[in-house]
Amino acid sequence: MTAEFSTPTQKPALWQPNRRRSRQIEWLVRVVCFLFAAISILTTLGIVLTLIFETIDLFLDPFFRQALWIERLPDLLPNASEAQIQALSDQIQDIDPKQLIDQAETIGLEPPSRIAGFFYALKRFFTDTRWTPLFKTADFGIFVLISATLLTSTIAMLVAIPLGLLTAVFLSEYAAPSVRQVLKPVLELIAGVPSVVFGYFALLTVTPFLQGFIPPLQGFNALSAGMVLGISITPLVASLSEDAINAVPQDLRQGAFAMGATKRETIQAVVIPAALSGIVASIILAISRAVGETMIVSLAAGQNPQPIDGSLGFINPFIPVMTMTAFIVQVSLGDAPFGSLAYKTIFAVGMSLFVMTLTLNILSYWFVRRFREKYE
Amino acid sequence: MASSNSDFSPSQPVVGPAASFVANLPKRYALDRLFLVAAWVAMLIAMAVLGWLLLDVLDQGLGRLNWQFLTSFPSRRASNAGIIGALAGTFWVMIIVAVVSFPVGVGAGLYLEEFSSDNWFTRFIEINISNLAGVPSIIYGLLGLAAFVRLMEPITGGRSVLAGALTLALLVLPIIIVATREALRAVPDSIRMAGLAMGGTRWQVVAAHVMPAAISGILTGVILALSRAIGETAPLITIGALTFVPFTPGCTEEFPYFNPLDLLRCPAEVLQSPFTVMPIQIFNWISRPQPAFHENAAAAIIVLMVMLVMMNSLAIWLRNRFQRRRE
């Protein structure tokens, strides 16, 4: 009966698959694919550990112990005259921070501990009102950079929110399918333009154009960088908001129309409130993107950290500022040697940037989950 | 008592919620038209800005775009400078990004979609991937600087093609993983059931039936990911790609300086070579004060945009093919 199948000429392998080998291959493929999936976790781990270690390394830099030492001199030597203190602080100032401990004996005083230096650095990082880490008398006020980032991001959102939302409403509620078919690719095209190209546009086209209307506008400024940044994230706001608006069931619109509402009233009173969680989430994501954007702001917004003081330069959109990302680019272009103060500083700035964007991303995710209207 | 009466008294002006019942139609329709005009204007502003950008770049750059520009190395004189170094760097980096990110991204997508059960670990990876997609690209540059340039220096040779490509590969992985998962999800379960019913293992079913059905969707995602990588500037500046590169990676000394076989003939000279890429060359030219270099930047932008449009057209073609087959 089965003899026909078991003759050697009938390719028995076809009927008797090597299940053992199949299982081995299956296992191998699973393991390899699992390892590939695990790379994403390694990436996150790598980012977090790198940023944390280098940031801590910055705060432990002897530079801060030296600065704290000088600051404490009047307390350490309460009986010394002002001239003595000045001479001593000059002497300490001249020490290369790397040899602080070796040279401490020549001063005859105990330098502050590593822990004290760490907390002093932390304090400087959050309370300094200037950002001059590459100077001899360095200041590390991260809020100088954060304020510039917030300035460009705010201008960007002032452009992107109205443009993106109106575009989303237009595409989902008004546009005929034929119009949509033209407009959607245009939006995708804007989203696909590399940011360095937008940087070119902001610096060499938009700034000269705006200077025609606003004479005090300088060659590098937060205004044109922010505006172009806003255009570049408009597609993000538009497409995510459109998804949220499209998810609102048709019944709700028809209900509103049946009550005698006009189309605009329906959109404003029914559709947008119903899609609000998705819209807000898209806006938060766009803010996160604006905060992390690099090329536009480092090309067009300038490299001048504005001190946080009464002159209010840090909220002036007409003058050059320096965002967090622009600082990282500036130092990277200067080829900072490994282990130098500048090298560690870019990781501390990166850490601040990472914390900000991560918070925004989580907020956006949480917002959708928490406030989503569920329709059956 | 008195107040409830006054609510319904017709002599009183209507206020509060009742106000919205006044059918002032002309005014409401006027507002409607205004709103529609505003929506049109928003749409037109976005399009006009894009048009302005493109026209400006074309206007500035077309005059500079010639054979000499495409085949010259950078120079201190703007009129002698060209982009061959940046073009070769971009080609090499893109090849390695594709070689690394394609198997890893697709493998990770396969694991999440086909091989894993829905447990806490899978969900953790999913959340992790969506978080990675939101990390600014310059942060990946910092990771690349610490991990690939410094930690793995014996392998990558420092600020090299390989270090840059690995950094960009990590950057685009989330895009490829998400695209792979979507393409796999679009394959009907009946195909898997049929394959399993024939006695195939999961991998046999995936390799022989699911992947062929999903491959064009996956490739679309990979190309879109590469077109993101080709325009990335910030992470490569952070890892220290050079801005003045009067040579090309590899060991091909004569024109066109770019030979894929170099990867076999002299892999170290390709992978460990210092490099520049198109966006960095553009950045460098923009940041110089002389207008002649700005024209160079515009011309290089045209080349970069043409490359992007070609890649996107390929992706759209693949997507259309994919959609037609599903119908």
The overall average pLDDT reported for chain B is 86
Torsion sign, CA atoms A89, A95, A100, A103 = negative
Residue B287 has pLDDT above 70, yes or no: yes
pLDDT on residue B12: 52
Residue B283 has pLDDT above 60, yes or no: yes
Distance from CA of A162 to the nearest CA of B (A): 8
Rounded Cα gap, residues B240 and B148, in angstroms: 11
Which amino acid is located at A253 in the chain? Answer: R
| Cβ-based neighbours of A320, under 8 Å, separated by 6 or more | A218, A219, A220, A221, A301, A302, A303, A304
Q: Which of A19-23, A63-67, A122-126, B242-246 has the lowest mean pLDDT?
A: B242-246
Residue A117 has pLDDT above 50, yes or no: yes
Question: Per-residue pLDDT tens for B229-255?
Answer: 999 999 999 998 777 777 777 777 667
Which amino acid is located at A117 in the chain? Answer: G
Q: List residues bridging with A140 in a β-sheet.
A: A131
Residue B91 has pLDDT above 70, yes or no: yes
Task: Give the A:B interface size as CB pairs under 8 Å.
Answer: 245
Residue of A nearest to B21 (CA): A260
Residue B228 has pLDDT above 80, yes or no: yes
Distance from CA of B119 to the nearest CA of A (A): 14
- Indicate the pLDDT class of residue A322, thresholds 50, 70 and 90: very high
Question: Per-residue pLDDT tens for A159-203?
Answer: 999 999 999 999 999 988 898 888 888 888 899 899 999 999 999
- Residue A140's SS3 state is strand
Instruction: Report the residue from A33, A38, A332 with minimal CB separation from B237.
Output: A332
Cβ of A163 and B139 within 8 Å?
A: no
For testing the chain B interface, which of A166, A229, A272 should be mutated: the one with the most B CBs within 10 Å?
Answer: A166
Share of chain A above pLDDT 90, in %: 53
Look up the ipTM and state it: 0.89
pLDDT on residue A139: 85
pLDDT on residue A155: 96
Query: pTM of this prediction?
Result: 0.88
Residue B192 has pLDDT above 80, yes or no: yes
Residue A230 has pLDDT above 90, yes or no: yes
Instruction: Report the residue from B142, B202, B231 with minimal CB separation from A26.
Output: B202
Distance from CA of A129 to the nearest CA of B (A): 25
Mean pLDDT (whole number) for B157-180: 92
- Indicate the pLDDT class of residue B4, thresholds 50, 70 and 90: very low
Angle at A37 between CA A35 and CA A38, to 5 degrees: 60
Residue A266 has pLDDT above 90, yes or no: yes
Of B117, B309, B145, which Cα lies nearest the Cα of B227?
Answer: B309
Higher pLDDT, B79 or A7: B79
A301, with CB counted inside 10 A (0-12, 13-18, 19+), is buried
Does a cis peptide bond (omega within 30 degrees of 0) precede residue B256?
A: yes
Higher pLDDT, A258 or B14: A258
